[in-house]
Amino acid sequence: MSNAVGTNGLRITALAFAAALVGGMLAASTAALAGALAGARARGKTMVACDIHIAADGAGLADAIEKAPAGARLCLGPGVYVAGLQLTKSLTLVGTQGADKTVLKGPGHVPVLRVDDDGLAIRLEGLTLQGGDADAGGGLRTSGRGKIQVADCRFTGNNAGMIGGGGIYASAGLLSLERCTFDHNRGRQGGGVFLDAVVHADLTRCTFDANESAQGASLRITEAVEVTVKISTFRGHRGAPDVAAFVVSGTRSRIPHVTLDHCTVEDGSIVNGPEIPGDVRLKSSKVPASWNGHPGVSDASGPAHRHP
């Protein structure tokens, strides 16, 4: 009897040891994966499961998008891709080596990417959209009632001379921008981004630098737009001598609602209205002194947050 008990005790001890060993290995593997993901994000790279891998070889991107099933994740290797493409199905486009090494280039006279259809879910990550030239949305034009997510992307050297939105023009649906950079874009309205009509947008940790427009070098916001901008920086505005960083205006039937939360606007004025101003709210944001007392601009932070 005692031998049986002893044997069972040894078995239980062995099982406990094995369980502890497996648990330790799983914990180590999880920690290693988390470290790798954190390191990749710090280097501007993306680690994601891919349905389709694409190399930068001319028309490969257009062909891959056409053949991909709805909802597919397309991973783009480093290089320059000829774009000027319309996305007609839900897709994710990921630059595996980050925006510095993965460029979607416009062929001229069209946006780099365009989304018109309703009900689509599009995600762009780790890409540079460059060299688009269109009436509206040189880098990205979206007018469908869907969901567009853009993360860790750069919009540079795009132009929208007729309507505006050098980097992005959006007029419907939901638009989310995270950790994106807009620089050296030009537009008739909204050198960086033109938010129009009924789009709802969120911008978080974005940077706007050296964008140009006569009507909102960084942002042009109108009609029934609702936008919240968090922890973002705006600087280097180009245009008229008293260049406006933001131009906001409503119509007789609807007005836009704009919130700047923990943002910094280093230079440039704001034009709100003047006939029908929008609702602009500042929360712990630093803006130029010229914004002080501007109609339609309310500041919960007080004058201490004004640049001289």
Give the per-residue pLDDT at 30.
Answer: 40
Q: What DSSP state is assigned to residue 8?
A: H
Alpha-carbon gap, residue 7 to 5, rounded angstroms: 5
Report the chain's mean pLDDT, rounded to a whole number. 86
Per-residue pLDDT band at 146 (split at 50, 70, 90):
very high
Alpha-carbon gap, residue 186 to 167, rounded angstroms: 8
Convert the pLDDT of each residue in 100-121 to its tens digit: 999 999 998 999 999 999 999 9
Residue with the bigger pLDDT between 45 and 168: it is 168
Exposed / middle / buried, residue 79 (Cβ in 10 Å: 0-12, 13-18, 19+): middle
pTM for the complete prediction? 0.84
Helix then strand count (H, E) for the chain reads 2, 32
